[in-house]
Amino acid sequence: MIKKLFLLLPLLLQSCAFISYNQIVPLIKSATVGEDDIELSDEFIAQQPYSFIRVDLGKGANIIMVLQKINDGIYTWISSEGEKIVTFNGKIIRTSGLIHNIDIINFKDFKYFSPLNNYSGMFNVMLKDPSAFIEQEFVISLIDDEGDSLLFEEKMKLEVLNSSYSNYYWLDKRSGMAKLSKQKIHPMLPILKIDFVYKY
Amino acid sequence: MRLIYYFLLFILGLSGQLCAGINDYIYPKSSYPSYSNSGTIGLIQMPSARMMPAGSIAFSWSDSDPYQRGSFIGTPFDWFEASYQYTDINNALYSLTPAFSGDQSYKDKSFDAKVLLFKETDYLPAIAAGVRDMAGTGVFASEYLVASKKFRNIDFTLGLGWGAYSDNGMKNPLTSIDDSFEVRDVSDNSTQGGEFNLGYFYSGKVGVFGGAEIYLPNLNGTRLKIEYDSTDYELEGFPFGEKSFNFAFENVRQPSSKINIGFVYPVFESFHLKLNYIKGHTLSFGFALNANFGPKDPIIKKRDKHKKIINPQAYKEVTAESNDNLYRISLMELNPRGFPVQDADVDGETLKIVYAQSRHRSWARSTGRVLRVLDDIAPEKITKFEISNINGGLGTYTAKVNRSDFSDNKQENLYKLAVKNIELSEFEYNPDEFEFSPRAEMPALFQSIVPTFRTQFGGPDGFFFGNLRIDYKGELLLSKSLSIKTAISQGIANNFGELKLKSDSVLPHVRTDIVQYLKQGTGLTVNHLQLDKFLKPAKSFYAKASVGLFETMFGGVGGEILYRPFDSDWAIGAELWKVKQREYDQLFQFRDYETLTGHINLFYKEPRTQILIMLKGGRFLAEDSGIHFDFSRRFKSGARMGIFFAQTDISEFEFGEGSFDKGFYFFIPVETFFDQYSKGSAGFGLRPLTRDGAAFLRHRNTLYGVTDQAQAHTINRDWDDIYD
């Protein structure tokens, strides 16, 4: 927000700007109060012909991505602008077209259930934009099974960046499919909140 | 000695050990170097050899008692940095006459420049030379030669300083070249100030300075700076109060330590906050805002994509039936996309389209978008396209394109292959040569309402005055070549009441009555109201006749002519205006002063660097004669930055303070801040003083601007946009 407003300052110094309120009002609104949320109402969901995800980048920045393909449990979602998110059991394992992208090489190590409820391991992650290879330690555990969802916490530790945080996944008890997740996938991106809506 | 040993140990202890890729995450927001308190890139008080990328424009502000300094910094090349400093010196008054300047503190204006002499390599440091306060009063005059070398996460700097940077007083090594470097004689200053005094540069004793900018790991890009300061604080500003300068009233506190330490915190990549402890007793702070306008779409990625034709095959079947169908569908699909069809014709296998547009600054992009539509709708028998453009009724360019070259390379965006065989030529517009010329709805009105801000700062009445306004901007097209352009403005709020400075100019007050125009123009004003008629009398010749209120201060009648050969990089023109000075209220009344002004204009654009050189020689508004020089560089984003200066046949005394007209400016495309394309620019220009000498008329729709695309280099520079 601050960044956008600062960058607007030169316009106040203008001598020959030729911009209209049609442009200014949405920009100021976007910089101050954010964009309008895309509400997942029953009507909205009914209108969508395909399975889709709503990705919330924070501050009301929402995008809808539709299911492009499923292959061996790997779901590829695509936006109207060509951005792609690839998920495996609800976890984002690959992206393209975002400002910063990732590619988890050993993503099949990701699973929810383990005998002692503390499944751990190490993801090998290729960070992109800028490119770097990192290792992420993880511990996955079930932390809540109230209601119709199971809530899993994925504790992450990036030793080289002296950083640790948790991702959360809500699984539908009946289908076993992810229906909501909050994930930090890249050090330079905010936490992504994803609502999954399946239409099959 | 032991202190230096511990210092080096401390520095090495902070150095990182990691590979380059992950460093971008351990030390984020570190793409740009940071600014010193002097306003140029550097350590805390001292400069470094670092430079911003070409196309960067920055504003830096710092408070380090007794100075508050605001700086505009431009980097037209990655080897050259120029900055304009405005320094508030708070141990001196603006003047000793309270009625003139109240209790306002002294304001100093100065230009700094730095040149990168040697780029950093794996083993050798970057080396730069710079000059500070080169064309002002000289109270901060200093020069330096500095080297910077980055080792892991630490950027080391070591330099030699002259003038105010010469505290530790070594013998000047340049005396081995010439004895004249031994003595620094700054007494040869002009009485009017503002001149470039080259005589004492790099003369006198030399100080050694150095330090390090340390990028701290995993602290969101925070940097620690430490330096040895070679500033001689007895040579800078007004150190001894009244003994140094009549208007000064207090001594500057001298340093108790030569070691300064500071932190820089990047709130985001282009906005830095800084906090420093300097001179052993002073806390200083500041910020710097920087943006790199060099690359395409530098701030916001465009989402203004080409709108695809929904069912191209169906269109092709219909357009194959008759040329008339093809013309009408072209019109139907191109007009809503912002490319109104002016004329169309089919000549054998070639479809000719004449279009206009006012949205894309890239003519390659607009040509490409027209081609994409035509490629989707034209029948298979069409194998060539001729896309021509008109502006103000003037034919500008024609691009002859093989359809297969364009369509075959579209999928993979192989623009170099697509444009290899495109033939560009000047377009001689004759509507009678076209079978289809849709009737345009005339008159057509284009209008918008925009907020604007009139400013005046740095005067004796007060540092900053402003007037927030709302402007109505309109353009009425009476025919393709006849238009009226206007801006009507209404003031909303201002603080111009305190403005009282009157002109002291001995020349006709063509610009120095600015205070009267500002104060009496706080309500409704007509900023301009100009009728233009455009003509193209012969190949490569363009002409314009105008009448009206050209700018806030002058109105009248006149015109210009331009010779602009299509395949050349140069153009030459002439303009002549009979003008009368407008009343201060900027409505429809005139004052008594009138004059005839005119110039020969010469333009040369170097296509590789996009440097535009403009010379304007002739008679100026105050009836002085001479030449105005303007050098500017355009960047891929469309931003432009430039400098100007002028020499006319008036003396330094007649010109007044500043000695001659000079300044700098930059234009930033408005589309930079939006995800849609548009052609407007936000401009900012600054001259140290507003004087009457070398002032010229500012009229709208200059021929050089209107015919920008009538030269091949304008289109060639952007071919990578053809599939955008």
Chain A residues whose beta carbon lies within 8 Å of the beta carbon of residue B451: 12, 24
| β pairing state of A119-128 and A132-144 | antiparallel
B16-292 topology per CATH = Porin (2.40.160)
pLDDT score at B17: 45
- Binary contact (A19, B670; C-beta < 8 A): yes
Q: Return residues 565-624 of B near A (CB < 8 Å).
A: none
CB neighbours (10 Å) of residue B476? 16
pLDDT score at B187: 62
Share of chain B above pLDDT 90, in %: 73
Q: What is the 3-state secondary structure (H, E, C) of B155-209?
A: EEEEEEEEECCCCCCECCHHHHCCHHHCCCCCCCCCCCCCCCCCCCCCCCCEEEE
Q: What distance in Å separates residue B290's CA from the closest CA in chain A?
A: 9
Q: In which band, very low, low, confident or very high, does the pLDDT at B183 lie, cut at 50, 70 and 90? A: confident
Question: Could you tell me the CA-to-CA distances from B400 to B367, B395, B410 in Å, in that order?
Answer: 11, 15, 17
State yes or no: pLDDT of A8 exceeds 80.
no
For the segment A46-84, what is each residue's pLDDT rounded down to a tens digit?
A: 888 899 999 987 766 788 999 999 999 999 999 887 889
Q: What distance in Å separates residue A44's CA from the closest CA in chain B?
A: 24
- Binary contact (B685, A15; C-beta < 8 A): yes
Q: Residue with structure tokens 């607007």?
A: A8
Domain residue extents for chain A: 42-197
Q: Which residue has the higher pLDDT, B627 or B17?
A: B627
For the segment B565-609, what is each residue's pLDDT rounded down to a tens digit?
A: 999 999 999 999 999 999 999 999 999 999 999 999 999 999 999
**Residues 6 or more apart in contact with residue B572 via CB below 8 angstroms:** B562, B563, B600, B601, B602, B603
Judge: domain B312-440, CATH 3.30.300.
yes
Mean pLDDT of B170-194: 75
Mapping DSSP to helix (H, G, I), strand (E, B) and coil, where does residue B24 land? helix
| β pairing state of B271-278 and B259-268 | antiparallel
Chain A residues whose beta carbon lies within 8 Å of the beta carbon of residue B21: 130-133
For the segment A91-117, what is each residue's pLDDT rounded down to a tens digit?
A: 999 999 888 999 999 999 999 988 888
Query: ipTM of this predicted complex?
Result: 0.80
Q: Which residue has the higher pLDDT, A26 or B390?
A: B390
Domain residue extents for chain B: 16-292, 312-440, 444-479+481-713
Taking Cα atoms as reference points, which of B512, B516, B463 lies closest to residue B658?
B512
- Is B259 near chain A, with CB under 8 Å? no
- Binary contact (B682, A130; C-beta < 8 A): no
Query: What burial letters (b/e) apply to A13-23, b meaning 16+ CB within 10 Å?
Result: bbeebbbeeeb
Q: In which band, very low, low, confident or very high, does the pLDDT at A26 lie, cut at 50, 70 and 90? A: low
**Residues 6 or more apart in contact with residue A16 via CB below 8 angstroms:** B667, B680, B681, B682, B683
Q: In which band, very low, low, confident or very high, does the pLDDT at B485 lie, cut at 50, 70 and 90? A: very high
Contact B684, B642 (CB under 8 A): no
- Binary contact (A160, B18; C-beta < 8 A): yes
- Is A127 near chain B, with CB under 8 Å? yes
Amino acid at A141: S
CB neighbours (10 Å) of residue B447? 11
Nearest-CA residue of chain A relative to B667? A14
What is the C-alpha separation between B70 and A48, in angstroms, rounded?
A: 54
Chain B contact probe: residue of A8, A15, A186 with most B CBs at under 10 A: A15
- Binary contact (B28, A15; C-beta < 8 A): no
Among the partner-chain residues B28, B449, B473, the one whose CB lies closest to the CB of A21 is B449
- Is A24 near chain B, with CB under 8 Å? yes
For the segment A179-199, what is each residue's pLDDT rounded down to a tens digit?
A: 999 999 999 898 999 999 998
Q: What is the 3-state secondary structure (H, E, C) of B363-422?
A: HHHHHHHHHHHHHHHCCCCCCEEEEEEEECCEEEEEEEEEHHHHHHCCCCCCHHHHHCCC
Contact B50, B155 (CB under 8 A): yes
3-state helix, strand, coil in chain A (%, to 5): 20, 45, 35
- Binary contact (A17, B682; C-beta < 8 A): yes
pLDDT score at B503: 85
pLDDT score at B630: 97
Mean pLDDT of B380-409: 96
Q: What distance in Å separates residue A92's CA from the closest CA in chain B?
A: 20
Strand partners, B599: B575, B618
- Binary contact (A14, B453; C-beta < 8 A): yes
Among the partner-chain residues B271, B452, B685, the one whose CB lies closest to the CB of A6 is B271
Strand partners, B469: B452, B491
State yes or no: pLDDT of B403 exceeds 90.
yes
Contact B21, B36 (CB under 8 A): no
The number of C-beta contacts closer than 8 angstroms across A and B is: 106
What is the C-alpha separation between B250 and B528, in angstroms, rounded?
A: 49
Chain A residues whose beta carbon lies within 8 Å of the beta carbon of residue B668: 10
Q: What are phi and psi of B367, to 5 degrees?
A: -60, -45
Mean pLDDT of chain B: 91
Q: Which residue has the higher pLDDT, B451 or B37?
A: B37
Mean pLDDT of A30-35: 56
Taking Cα atoms as reference points, which of B294, B361, B295 lies closest to residue B709?
B361
pLDDT score at B685: 83
Q: In which band, very low, low, confident or very high, does the pLDDT at B192 lie, cut at 50, 70 and 90? A: low
State yes or no: pLDDT of A142 exceeds 80.
yes
- Binary contact (A6, B289; C-beta < 8 A): yes
Q: Return residues 328-367 of B near A (CB < 8 Å).
A: none
- Is B679 near chain A, with CB under 8 Å? yes
CB neighbours (10 Å) of residue B547? 16
Question: Could you tell me the CA-to-CA distances from A103 to A100, A125, B27, B324 in Å, in that order?
Answer: 11, 6, 21, 53
* Domain covering A42-197: architecture: Beta Barrel (2.40)
For the segment B644-686, what is each residue's pLDDT rounded down to a tens digit?
A: 999 999 988 888 876 788 889 999 998 888 888 988 888 888 8
- Binary contact (A161, B678; C-beta < 8 A): no
Chain B residues whose beta carbon lies within 8 Å of the beta carbon of residue A162: 217-218
- Binary contact (A160, B270; C-beta < 8 A): no
- Binary contact (B25, A27; C-beta < 8 A): no
Query: What burial letters (b/e) apply to B2-32, b meaning 16+ CB within 10 Å?
Result: eeeeeeeeebeeeebeeeeebbbbbbbbbeb
